[in-house]
Amino acid sequence: MKQTFEQKAKHADFIESLNGKSKEDLEKIEADLIKQADDVDKELADMKFDLPDEDREKIYGYIREFIDKQSYSWEYTLGASAMYSVWDVKNKSVSYAALDSTLRTLGQLTFTGHDEWNKVIAINKYFEPIHEQYANATNKIYDVAEKHSIVMDKLQLFEPVNNPNADK
């Protein structure tokens, strides 16, 4: 997911806040970020999106059609089958994990012809009411992951193999 200007600025401020920190300080920050990641995971595990009633049958049908057209290797068939099952019209809400994996799967596909393009446009419009909620949830994951990556990069500088001056 592309970072907004605000997110980049926030991470720049975070990087600056790490300047001059000891290895022990960085390890404490890393432990806190791991806890934050666990908290976000728990929050998202319980998150559900209520989807609009209008056009549900049609949109779910499009999603199932696109999932069904794909070829999957042996080890992915159970996940593909589960993803297909999520989009049963009886389901009026969907978990964050199911929505995210479906959108990522659909986002990797190519679509041929005007009919399929219109189905993609209809799917996108259907999800507009939950776009902001989904984006905010996804940004929480990326924010913690980016900060953890930054701290890990800083911690590597304390390792002699990565920094010949680390012992000095």
What does the pLDDT look like over 6-61, one tens digit per residue? 666 678 888 888 888 889 999 999 999 999 999 999 999 999 999 999 999 999 99
Contact 145, 37 (CB under 8 A): yes
What does the pLDDT look like over 64-101, one tens digit per residue? 999 999 999 999 999 999 999 999 999 999 999 999 99
Identify whether 64 is part of a domain: yes
Round to whole Å and give the CA distance between 38 and 144. Answer: 10
Residues 59, 64, 68: CA angle, nearest 5 degrees: 155
Contact 59, 126 (CB under 8 A): yes
Identify whether 121 is part of a domain: yes
- Choose among 130, 124, 7: nearest CA to 66: 124
Domain count, the chain: 1
Note down the domain range covering 116: 25-159
